[in-house]
Structure 1
Amino acid sequence: MTDHTPKPEAPWGRWVQAAIAVAVMAAVLIVVELIDTVMNGRLDAHGISPRSWSGLVGILWAPFLHADFAHLIGNLLPGVVLAYFVVLSGHAIAVTAIVWVTSGLGVWLIAPSDSITIGASGIVFGWLAFLIVRGVFNRDVWQVLGGIVVLVVYGGILWGALPGTAGVSWQGHLFGAIGGVLAASVTARDRPGAPAIDQGGFR
């Protein structure tokens, strides 16, 4: 007989996979912005137009679109770091999906009717909120400490979830952060009915 017991995955393997996933994400955003630049920004019209049926479709496309490379880089600088740790959490798809929809619907519902909202910052805020609070929902001391570190390093951007800065979608930031907290609750290991999962490592 042959023992087919799978070997445990080396921690560095997950780290490399997470880095590759984040690099692919960043590359896609850069390519889209290059195409948009060549098209003189015409893609930006496909962002979220509040309270219109066509604007609902914009929820899907808005995070891929940015006003210019300065806007994109402003989101990528914190985004790639936060995304990396969200991927390591093992819940990247679920967290991102929840944040994406929550942020987009929030913009669609309460943003000014004459605006078109674009950019991935709502998702960045959601990732940030998720990493800050997930340890509380998981009752994990190390995750709580990690959340405190994330809060100290990146918490200053949370002010962007408040009204005040012209041209900034505080609605997307606020609802993105709400989505991050919701995602932390939904993916928590200890929530009622959640299956026991051996997550191991930094998850």
Structure 2
Amino acid sequence: MQFFSQDMDQNKRMLYHALVVPVIIVILLCLVFALEYLGGYDFHSLGVYPREFKGMIGILTMPFIHGDAKHLYANIIPIFVLTLFLYMAYRPNAHKVLIFVWIFTGVILWIIGRSSWHIGVSGIIYGLVCYLFFGGLAGNNRTSIAVALIVAFLYGGIIWYMIPIGIDNHISWEGHLSGAISGIIAAIIFRTKPNDDENSEKQEDEQDDVQYDWRDSDRTESELPS
């Protein structure tokens, strides 16, 4: 029972740590939208406007701006789920990946986008989907592959919103495509080494075997290593 208790405690700590960033992002998205809606402001100028100096600020601020409640609601659940997966499966590189995808999605969009204001966090969503999928397959370990398959099942259909065919003109397919490109690049740069999970689990198991070796209880004080 002690083993199960320790595993449960460790899993809870990992989950709590992984929840911090997703929760913060969702809260910030909601607060910005509430401020804009209740205060009567218009934050569209904080989006990305391609190839215009005035639109460069959106590289950082675009993900916080949404056109209406429906737009915000459509993005909240995916960004929460995907960032949670990111911080649970790729904790050592999670901050780097999120920052990279965040910035490079905006940069690519600023270069290739139509001359219009582009807003919303969907570009980062596409970036995380591509990172978790391609990075998971390249990682070649159980955790990353499992995450890749789950992401493909949940969000595989979004690929059709990266091309300008059969979609609403008001949808920024360029933002989606920019996010996907940045996610694939991130999967190459921040590639997880194969079998990292298995090696770490093996080391933990070996440490547990040493710690709970029944023979330790039969040793005298003089026999214990210094």
Short-chain TM bin: 0.7 to 0.9
Write the deviation string for residues 155-199 of structure 1: whole angstroms up to 9, x where unpaired. 1122111113211111111110111111111111349xxxx8999
**Larger helix percent:** 2
- Contact 1:94–1:183 under 8 Å retained in 2: no
The corresponding residue for 2:13 is 13
The corresponding residue for 2:79 is 79
Aligned residue for 1:10, secondary structure, equals helix
Structure 2: distance between partners of 1:39 and 1:60: 22
Q: Cα–Cα, structure 1 residues 118 and 41, in superposed 2: closer, same or farther, change >3 Å? A: farther
Structure 2: distance between partners of 1:199 and 1:129: 25
2:64 maps to a residue whose letter is F
Q: Which has the larger radius of gyration?
A: 2
Write the deviation string for residues 36-88 of structure 1: whole angstroms up to 9, x where unpaired. 11233411221111101121111111001111111111011212111100111
Tell me the TM-score normalised to structure 2 length.
0.76
Are 2:187 and 1:187 equivalent residues in the alignment? no
Moved more, 159-168 or 132-141: 132-141
- Contact 1:133–1:144 under 8 Å retained in 2: no
The corresponding residue for 2:99 is 97
Q: Structure 2: which 5+ residue stretches go unaligned?
A: 1-5, 202-226
Aligned residue for 1:74, secondary structure, equals helix
Q: How well do the aligned residues superpose, as a CA RMSD in angstroms?
A: 2.4
Structure 2: distance between partners of 1:28 and 1:198: 36
Tell me the TM-score normalised to structure 1 length.
0.84
Q: Cα–Cα, structure 1 residues 199 and 35, in superposed 2: closer, same or farther, change >3 Å? A: farther
1:82 maps to a residue whose letter is L
2:139 maps to a residue whose letter is N
Structure 2: distance between partners of 1:41 and 1:125: 28
- Contact 1:47–1:117 under 8 Å retained in 2: yes
The corresponding residue for 1:4 is none
**Overall identity of the aligned pairs, in %:** 29
Aligned residue for 2:57, secondary structure, equals helix
1:36 maps to a residue whose letter is E
Equivalent of 2:180, from 164, 177, 182?
Answer: 177
Question: Comparing both chains, which one has the higher relative contact order based on Cα–Cα distances under 8 Å and sequence gaps of 6 or more?
Answer: 1
Superposition map of 1:134-173 within 5 A: 134-164=135-165, 165=167, 166-173=169-176
Moved more, 88-97 or 27-36: 88-97
- Contact 1:128–1:180 under 8 Å retained in 2: yes
Structure 2: distance between partners of 1:25 and 1:198: 31
The corresponding residue for 2:57 is 57
Residue 135 of structure 1 and its aligned partner are, at CA, apart by 2.2
Superposition map of 1:116-127 within 5 A: 116-127=117-128
